[in-house]
Amino acid sequence: MRSLESSKNRRKKKDGGGKGTRLRVDLFRNAACRIVDCLHLEKRRGVDKGPGKDIMALSGGRREAVREYYVEKIRIFLTLLAVMSALAAGLTVCFFAGDRSVPGGRLTRPGYGEGSGSEQLNVKIEKGQYDRSEEMTQQGGSVSGKTEEILRSGTTLSLDIPERKYSGAQERALLEQAEQEIREQLLGENPSPDRVTKRIRLPVILADGAVRAQWSQMPYGILEEDGMPAQGIPQEGTPVTLEAELTAQSLHRTVTQVVRVYPPEKSDELKARDVVRQEAGALNAGRENEEDFLLPAQVDGRQLVWTYPYNTDLLLLAMAALSIPFLAGALMDQRVKEAARMRREQLEMDYPDLLWKMTLLIGAGMNLSSAFARVAEDYRKEATGGKQGRRYVYEEMLITCHEIRDGLSEGKAYEQFGHRCGLPRYIRLGSVLSQNLRKGSRGLTEILEQEALAASRERQSQARKLGEKAGTKLLLPMVMMLCVVFVILIVPAFMAM
């Protein structure tokens, strides 16, 4: 009742949202209903196959749900078709409307350094110029008859448009600008070219991308590729000649700068570490024969506290310990899934054997109840004596026998047996056994025999598939063993050469 009232309230809210939207939805829905009724889709497609079968299962067996599904499907199709048709019409109008002529007969070139471009254009002779073609041909025009015929109907061609070029004065100005930028940026945080202890800047793109620079240094290796002084530089410094080859379109210029590079300056933290190391070295000077190594208690009159760093392994171990409960839960879920899979496979494999046993016993003169109980009792004796492992189908048969002894009707017990097994073939078997209790056991032997033959053939097919999978899984180990054999044979031969 609550769900019905809530659905009514939602419907009322939707109804108050706007008549235009409701009318549009009702229009498409009414059209969809008429199409479904005219074509009889729910009857033509059927409810025992395809989407109809799935809808019946999901809706609890309501046949009306199949019709509702097709109505909603066609309504959505009609709605999208209307929207997309309107969009396609608008795009078509935009495609053909408007002035598509090239304004002024001019195209915009690609900018400086952007590279050449191309433009796809349509070209044809203007209508008012058709009568002048013969006169132009007589005067030595370059348009022949076939060319004119093609141009009259129009053709599409691709024009290559070179990039815009700098003039000579612009190139020289750009090189001047690039050289000025190098002078301003080169030293970076260094105070002067006579003392370089920090990273210097070696820009390769200058003048807003119009100029490219290629750097070289002499001697090589004093500066790293990122401009940082390398290790091993003498304390008195090393002069380095930096040379930049500037290129602006067709002009080139070389810019040279001489700097003196000193060992890189250390950060404050590195300097502090060196001070402590020096104090420790001075404190332990001449104590190389002692067992212990003294740590300085103070530096520049300030007390020092020495501690071991945190052991990150313990933190990782704690995190691993906290993750164990989650992993255990996931492992349990995985084991349950694996057990369920093995149970299904075992039920599939035992199905033909169960049918053959039932067929033989019923064919020997037993009734259905006695044959069913005999199969279950034989399994119980073998399992109790340790001759038989656990087989799920026979365990379910024992439960069924107990239910019958407790007063449950045989037909209901057989149906519950099939549903507990969970596989379609067992559900079908339970229904067959239940029906034959009401109709009598005539023909039951033939039914069970046919079902057993079909199940045996299917089990043979399944066994072949499992064998093929096993062969595929063995392929990788076989390849690895082949590689080991090749190594054993080839390596000694190469070592002996």
The pLDDT mean for the chain works out to 77
- For the chain, percent of residues with pLDDT exceeding 70: 76
Q: What is the pLDDT of residue 8?
A: 43
* pLDDT for 374: 92
Q: How does residue 445 score in pLDDT terms, banded at 50, 70 and 90? A: confident
Lowest mean pLDDT among 3-17, 347-361, 481-495: 3-17
CA angle in degrees (0–180, nearest 5) for 67-72-76? 150
Is the model's pLDDT at 416 over the cut of 80?
Answer: yes
In this prediction, residue 232 carries a pLDDT of: 79
- Asked if residues 433 and 358 have their Cβ atoms less than 8 Å apart, the reply is no
Least confidently predicted of 213-217, 300-304, 353-357: 300-304
| Mean pLDDT to the nearest integer, 486-493 | 81
3-state secondary structure of 452: helix
Q: Give the pLDDT confidence of 132-141 residue by residue, as tens digits.
A: 545 545 445 5
Pairing assessment for the beta strands 238-248 and 211-218 based on DSSP bridges? antiparallel
Give the integer Cα–Cα distance in Å for 4 and 382.
57
Report whether pLDDT(415) > 60.
yes
Structure token pair of residue 243: 């040379």
Q: What is the pLDDT of residue 53?
A: 60
Query: What is the structure's pLDDT at 147?
Result: 64
pLDDT band for 350, please (50, 70, 90 cuts). confident
Range with the poorest average pLDDT among 59-63, 144-148, 392-396: 59-63
Segment of 272-276, 306-310, 317-321, 431-435 carrying the highest mean pLDDT: 431-435
CA distance 271 to 278: 11
Residue with tokens 């024969």: 289
Residues with Cβ within 8 Å of 190's Cβ and at least 6 positions away in sequence, in order, are 196, 197, 198, 200
Mean pLDDT of 217-236: 83
Q: H or E stretch including 261?
A: strand 251-261
Instruction: Name residue 179's amino acid.
Output: E
Q: Name residue 17's amino acid.
A: G
Lowest average pLDDT, out of 104-113, 196-205, 444-453, goes to 104-113
How would residue 151 be classed by pLDDT, with cut points 50, 70 and 90? Answer: low
Which pLDDT tens digit goes with each residue over 65-100?
777 877 888 788 888 888 888 888 777 777 666 666
Give φ, ψ of 248 to 5 degrees.
-125, 95
Whether pLDDT at 263 is above 70: yes
Residue 24 banded pLDDT, cuts 50, 70, 90 = low
Q: What is the mean pLDDT of residues 311-327?
A: 72
Return the pLDDT at 462.
74
For residue 4, what pLDDT is reported?
35
pLDDT band at 402; cut points 50, 70, 90: very high
Predicted local confidence at residue 58, as pLDDT: 46
User: 175-197: per-residue pLDDT in tens?
Assistant: 888 888 888 888 888 888 888 88
Residue labelled with tokens 């009792």: 377
Which carries the bigger pLDDT value, residue 4 or residue 188? Answer: 188
Predicted pLDDT at 11: 45
pLDDT of amino acid 5: 42
Indicate if the pLDDT at residue 21 is higher than 70.
no
- How far is the C-alpha of 466 from the C-alpha of 198, rounded, in Å? 69
* Greater pLDDT, 59 or 429: 429
Whole-number Å distance between alpha carbons of 302 and 133: 102
Q: In what order do the strands lie in the sheet with 251-261?
A: 205-206, 211-218, 238-248, 251-261
Q: Judge whether residue 341 has pLDDT over 60.
A: yes
Question: Average of pLDDT values for 238-256?
Answer: 87
> How confident is the model at residue 113, as a pLDDT?
65
122: helix, strand or coil: strand
The domain ranges of the chain are 2-80, 168-261, 269-285+293-301, 332-473
pLDDT beyond 50 at 17: no
Most confident of 32-46, 114-128, 317-331, 397-411: 397-411
Burial 184-217 (b: 16+ CB within 10 A, else e): eebbeebeebeebbbbbebbeebbeebbbbebeb
pLDDT band at 314; cut points 50, 70, 90: low
Q: Residue range 323-344: average pLDDT?
A: 76
